[in-house]
Structure 1
């Protein structure tokens, strides 16, 4: 598994994720339409020309999902037991069609689970950054992460 176990997710660890993604008009229109977010700032070019941005904005929930998803291969793929939720989420700068987003993750905190001896709770801070090095998404997330010892016991049990 490429993901990291609870023991490896030490506070202060920073991961610059290699995946970059250019956001397209289709991403924005499809996501906004599928989620019934019909705000003209996402869908109506003529309306948006008169806005303070002068163009359509990419749906912020798409950006949150993209930023979260980009982090998976290097942090939680195969080692997470579940997403426990998001804390504070900010969108300091807008994202427009054609912007390219990359992500940096910092491990902020971790603690043993009080109810599950096989896991611990990790607090991640994900920063979505555009091609101009502007932060476009700043999200804190908590994940229930598997301990390496629990994974090794599962593997040994499966082989027996």
Structure 2
């Protein structure tokens, strides 16, 4: 008999305050990633697109778009935490980028569960707050964000709602 295993995130009931999840593998951000993301999002910032311009700026080379950094930080957490268990993302806050990301840097992310409570208006769903910390290949913090999500409490509750 072959087992069928479906990769999924965790339900709110499987998370505890203080849990820390280390998301592997990391993601190396390339020049192509940066240019594609920046142009797809209609961001004309020369710091991301113009090597000659960036060479004359304080960091001396193009910076990876901070929104790409943020998106990658959240994206790296999906398979382990919210794949198939998320109802909706409610918000992002306390976002900061204390150190730049450059082409060729690898982003590694860890996520801690900082708050969790039952939704007062949506039975069987919980509001979970996560704190994402992104570090480059040298361990330097390059981004942080707090994410609030509406999540199913358990698989049984989710199936009952369908």
TM-score normalized with structure 1 length: 0.93
- 4+ runs deviating over 4 angstroms: none
- Residue 19 of structure 1 and its aligned partner are, at CA, apart by 2.2
1:96-111 pair list within 5 angstroms: 96-111=102-117
- Residue 36 of structure 1 and its aligned partner are, at CA, apart by 1.3
Equivalent of 1:72 in 65, 69, 78: 78
Structure 2 gap segments, 5+ residues each: 1-6
Matches of 1:102 and 1:87, distance apart in 2? 20
**Residue number in structure 2 paired with 1:151:** 158
Matches of 2:93 and 2:127, distance apart in 1? 13
**Residue number in structure 2 paired with 1:139:** 145
TM-score normalized with structure 2 length: 0.92
Matched residues, number: 155
Structure 1 gap segments, 5+ residues each: none
Measured against aligned partners, the alpha-carbon deviations of 1:129-154 in whole angstroms (never above 9, x if no partner) come to 10010111100000001011413535
